[in-house]
């Protein structure tokens, strides 16, 4: 296996996330190249111990051209989740604007999880929606650049409709009523 090469900025972000979340065990990495001549996007796969839930798989990108770190919690299909996170970073880089909290982004297909197959988009939320990710609510200042963190959560077409018609608070209330776990 080829050895991962990180620049100093990526290494500092990796150390910050790993220590802030108190991640456990070894980290693995997945690289995605979205086209033949494109650059590599690096996504880290690690483990986070969550009270009463056990160990969860956390994936997050190490930004190449942006200052945003996108996190996802996944049960399987880590390579596919890595590709999705790489696409999110590439989308943000290509548009030249930061993805805002509450914004949605269509997926090319469905989220690769047995529990969320109907998901057709991602919604980006502040990490504060999860007590386990809360250490990443503050922006991280790195060499005069503000690094931000967002949790990418798969959503259905109905979720998107509720968010656009009634707002995030109503969406969260709906999720509470049906017992949706944002960590899936």
- Alpha carbon distances (Å) from 128 to 12, 100, 102, 162: 22, 14, 13, 21
Two tokens, residue 116: 């969320």
Give pLDDT tens digits along the chain (184 positions).
456 778 889 999 999 999 898 888 788 887 766 655 556 788 888 888 766 667 788 889 998 888 899 998 887 777 788 888 888 888 888 888 888 888 888 876 655 554 455 777 889 999 888 878 888 877 788 888 889 999 998 888 899 899 999 988 899 889 888 877 665 4
**pLDDT of res. 16:** 92
Query: What is the torsion angle, in degrees rounded to the nearest 10, for the CA atoms of residue 85, residue 86, residue 91 and residue 96?
Result: 110
Distance (Å, rounded) from C-alpha 36 to C-alpha 152?
26
> Beta partners for 54?
50
pTM: 0.85
Distance CA 157, CA 123 (A): 11
pLDDT value of position 23: 86
d(CA 23, CA 56): 10
Q: Looking up tokens 């970073």, which residue turns up?
A: 89
Burial class (CB in 10 A: 0-12, 13-18, 19+), 105: middle
Closest CA to 145 of 89, 98, 87, 94: 98
User: 52 in helix, strand or coil?
Assistant: coil
Question: What local confidence, expressed as pLDDT, does residue 134 receive?
Answer: 84
């Amino acid at each position: 296996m080829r050895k991962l090469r990180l620049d100093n900025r990526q290494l500092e972000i990796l150390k910050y996330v790993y220590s802030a979340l108190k991640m456990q065990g070894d980290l693995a990495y997945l690289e995605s190249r979205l086209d033949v001549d494109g650059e590599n996007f690096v996504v880290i796969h690690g483990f986070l111990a969550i009270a009463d839930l056990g160990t969860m798989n956390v994936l997050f990108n190490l930004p190449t051209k942006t200052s945003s770190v996108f996190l996802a919690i996944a049960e399987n299909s880590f390579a596919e989740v890595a590709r999705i996170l790489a696409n999110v970073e590439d989308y943000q880089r290509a548009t030249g604007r930061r993805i805002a909290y509450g914004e949605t982004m269509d997926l090319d297909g469905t989220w690769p999880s047995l529990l969320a197959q109907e998901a057709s988009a991602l919604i980006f939320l502040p990490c504060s929606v999860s007590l386990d990710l809360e250490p990443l609510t503050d922006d991280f200042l790195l060499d005069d650049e503000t690094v931000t963190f967002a949790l990418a959560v798969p959503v259905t077409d109905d979720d998107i409709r509720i968010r656009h018609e009634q707002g995030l608070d109503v969406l969260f209330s709906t999720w509470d009523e049906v017992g949706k776990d944002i960590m899936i």
